[in-house]
Amino acid sequence: MDNTDLPFLPFALPEIGEEEIAEVVSSLRSGWVTSGPKAKQFETDFSAWLGGGVESISVNSATAGLHLALEALGIGPGDEVITTTHTFTATAEVIRYLGADPVFVDVDSTTLCIDTAQIQRAITSRTKAIIPVHFAGRSADMRTIIGIARRHGLKVIEDAAHALPTTCNGALIGTLDSDVTVFSFYANKTITTGEGGMLVTRDSEIAKRARIMRLHGINRDAFDRFTAKVPSWYYEIVAPGFKYNLTDIAASIGIHQLKKANFFQKKRQAIAERYNSELAGLPLILPPNAEAGDIHSWHLYVIQLTEDAKVGRDTFIEKMFEQGIGMSVHYVPLHQHPYWRETYTLTPEMFPVSQTIYEHTATLPLYTRMTESDVDRVIGAVKKILG
């Protein structure tokens, strides 16, 4: 059958089961729709699932979680935070929320994650923190990054929006020796709550501050102390906080998505393995696998067309759409966007690796709801265009 006769295959779709739906309905019927028992349960479950004695603080997006993390670490005007240009803007915009400056560095051509040698070179007397991104769900070189941070007295916040579940040197992302890790439950991520995120830390001071700032700067200690003794009208505001709490409706979805996270990862990996074997031999650079023994979440399957490909990247994507297949690009690097380019005088020449990846890259559909024949269809289309 010709691909063009088939219904459009979306780039991404969430997998929501009857368990999630029933849990949402139970929240709706209970009358407790904003942050309450379900949000608390999701946090407890998340900490238990990760292990390693971490605390989990649910938020309404990973962007909110990253903002809270930097705020809790005291990042402010005049500070510099090193991150990668090859990411989504949320990684860097949170630095600007606090009046600090992102310092963008290039990525490693093999791992597509932040280039650790470039981190070293970007450190100045103003540097306060590093935000690595586990690009596509493959871990960044955390051993080296945490080593650099220790030597220079810097904080490490992992943007783990792609990294559930991902391991680094055998340990789950979220349990490493960084200061904070932030996960995303946006609609297209490996598990979803529609919108949502989780801030994870082992530092009780960071956890305490993030909890306060997540909900208007209300001091929960005062809140809890007084609610125990007198009618619960009394609270104290200790800072101009934010409105970043996760609703019970969203947490209801998350509780069941989390239970499926390992199963989802296996499904994603099976699809990635099929792509790996079927697309080998085409004029493509296939995505990097995890280090031996480590888990890749396979959030994204990112290919790069080589110079000998019959068509360029833009045409390739157009032709995939003609075959009824949704595609994306990860990412238009931050140095290309007007705000970042103009504010920090960035040029493509400053980021040769990211720029080259950007010009050649395309992301194939990869999600748990894809059927065997959906996967075959993607493989067939890529072979037809590039073979």
Cis peptide before 283 (omega within 30 of 0): no
Between 161 and 305, name the residue whose CB sits nearer to ligand PLP: 161
β-pairing, 167-168 vs 171-172, is antiparallel
DSSP letter string, 48-109: HHH-TT-EEEEES-HHHHHHHHHHHTT--TT-EEEEESSS-THHHHHHHHTT-EEEEE-B-T
User: Tokens standing for 138?
Assistant: 């493959």
User: Hey, what's the torsion of the CAs at 334, 339, 340, 342, to 10 degrees?
Assistant: 130
Q: Which of 128, 155, 189, 267 is catalytic?
A: 189
Which residues lie across from 198 on neighbouring strands?
Answer: 58, 183
Cβ distance to ligand PLP smaller for residue 58 or 323: 58
Q: Are strands 55-59 and 80-84 parallel, antiparallel or unpaired?
A: unpaired
**Is 189 among the residues known to form the active site?**
yes
Q: Residues interacting with ligand PLP, by CB under 6 A?
A: 61-63, 87-88, 90-91, 133, 159, 161-162, 184, 186, 197
Task: Mention every residue, 6+ apart, whose C-beta is less than 8 A from residue 386.
Answer: 282, 283, 284, 305, 309, 310, 311, 316
| Cβ nearer to ligand PLP, comparing 58 with 184 | 184
Which is nearer to ligand PLP, 184 or 252 (by Cβ)?
184
Please say which residue, 90 or 258, places its beta carbon nearer to ligand PLP: 90
**C-alpha closest to that of 199 among 94, 55, 41, 44:** 55
Coil/strand/helix, residue 292: coil
Q: How far is the CB of 61 from ligand PLP (least distance, A)?
A: 3
CB of 100 to ligand PLP, least distance (A): 17
In angstroms, give the least distance from the CB of 368 to ligand PLP: 18
| Token couple for 229 | 């003794």
Residues involved in catalysis: 189
